[in-house]
Amino acid sequence: MVTLSSESSPAGSGAIELFQLLRDGTPRTRAQLAKSTGLARSTIAARVEELMRMGLIMPVADAASTGGRPPSQFALNPSARVVLAVDIGASHTTVAVMDLTGAILEKRTEALPVADGPVAVLTRMVETAGALVAESGRDIRSLVAIGIGVPGPVEHSTGQPVNPPIMPGWDRFDVPGWVQQHLEVPVLVDNDVNIMALGERATAWPTTQHLMFVKVATGIGAGVISGGELQRGAQGVAGDIGHVQVARGSDVPCHCGNRGCLEAVASGPAIARALRAQGVPAENGDDVIALVKGGSIDAIQAVRQAGRDIGEVLTACVSLMNPSVIALGGSMARVGEHLIAGVREVVYTRSMPLATEHLAIVQSAAAENAAVVGAGMLAVEHVLSPEAFHSLAG
């Protein structure tokens, strides 16, 4: 593979600049690149040749001719390299191979509970990754980064899960260090709700700067994108809205030790418990969804009330963050409009008009792919960054 050595590229930063311009996929001519970067035409020509040799950019169909010979255009070559996207869930793990636009080339979901522990889960993940890269027709050397989502809090700077409640054996486990013993590329780890926010944006809202993704399942949490950036907060737990107290939940105990948490009244298991108390048989969130789909009035009312409870917390979030999109996902979002109707009812009534004038509260478009797409985007964002350019070039 051609490397970007200092000898071949005395002004190597020019190549990085060009690549940062071209990574958005929009084709540009040499003249446009010269204008945008302020680099000399001769430098542009040399850097374009260099990036083409590395396979990172490619010529694309020319712009409409303005008479004479039309100028050649160049854009990111999305298939230049691949990344691995991994969504480790409570009961299943999904592994996907993606190109640099985030398009899924190969994907496999296996029954692999996170509670089996990090060595068992990651060993299987590495095996699956090797098989999928081969099935996608790529060489493992074209793999440039791995993004991994886990169902628990992660310390962003180290990629280590911290006190994850449903991940026995994972506390402070060095996930990047372990994976890199087998696949020597950058490994990015984040919690599942954060990567779902990235996946949702990439799938349905690519130009949106302010988006909240709310996962409603066994637990409730949010991933927050503000000013175009994922917000992790000081310790990586920004968006952990499940344990905010809601008015209706005053004496309902929560597994966190407090009472009245949002999660204790509006999660899938909490709705099922409330229905059981009314004599309606429901063991878990799946049963609640089946009851709603079957037209049970009790279940529909319970889900709508859960939506209102979630809306109560989101009203505070709207005041604080002023998002333009709130997307609801997670397994309970499958109940459809009843949950969202409850959220809208409260958020639109209780927020200031300007904050909700252009606020869309919608079902997740990425749905069950949100996490795996987001894990891939985490990896893609890293490898396309100026800091990582040299590893990409090498």
Does 256 help bind Zn ion (rule: CB under 5 A)?
A: yes
* Structure tokens that stand for 380 in this block: 């893609």
* Structure tokens that stand for 154 in this block: 């992660």
Task: Determine the 3-state secondary structure of 97 from DSSP.
Answer: strand
Residues 161-200 as x/- pattern, contact with Zn ion by CB under 5 A: ----------------------------------------
| Nearest residue (CB) to Zn ion, 201 versus 243 | 243
Nearest approach in angstroms of CB 255 to Zn ion is 7
Q: Scanning the structure block, which residue is given the tokens 């060489």? A: 139
Does 261 help bind Zn ion (rule: CB under 5 A)?
A: yes
Among 243, 273, 304, 382, binds Zn ion (CB under 5 A): 243
Nearest approach in angstroms of CB 259 to Zn ion is 8
Does 230 help bind Zn ion (rule: CB under 5 A)?
A: no
For CA atoms 57, 229, 380, 334, the dihedral sign is: negative
Number of chain positions touching Zn ion (CB under 5 A): 5
Q: DSSP code of 259?
A: B
Query: Which listed range, 66-74, 255-263, 322-330, 378-386, lies at the site for Zn ion (CB under 5 A)?
Result: 255-263
Strands in 162-294 per DSSP E: 187-191, 211-216, 220-226, 229-230
CA dist 29 to 38, 73, 100, 122, 218, Å? 14, 4, 21, 44, 51
Nearest approach in angstroms of CB 232 to Zn ion is 21
Does 40 help bind Zn ion (rule: CB under 5 A)?
A: no
Does 254 help bind Zn ion (rule: CB under 5 A)?
A: yes
Nearest approach in angstroms of CB 215 to Zn ion is 15
Nearest to 255 by CA among 218, 303, 307, 217: 218
- In degrees, rounded to 5, the angle at the alpha carbon of residue 212 between the alpha carbons of residues 248 and 198 is 140
Query: Which listed range, 138-146, 182-190, 237-245, 369-377, lies at the site for Zn ion (CB under 5 A)?
Result: 237-245
Q: What residues make contact with Zn ion under the rule CB under 5 A?
A: 243, 254, 256, 258, 261
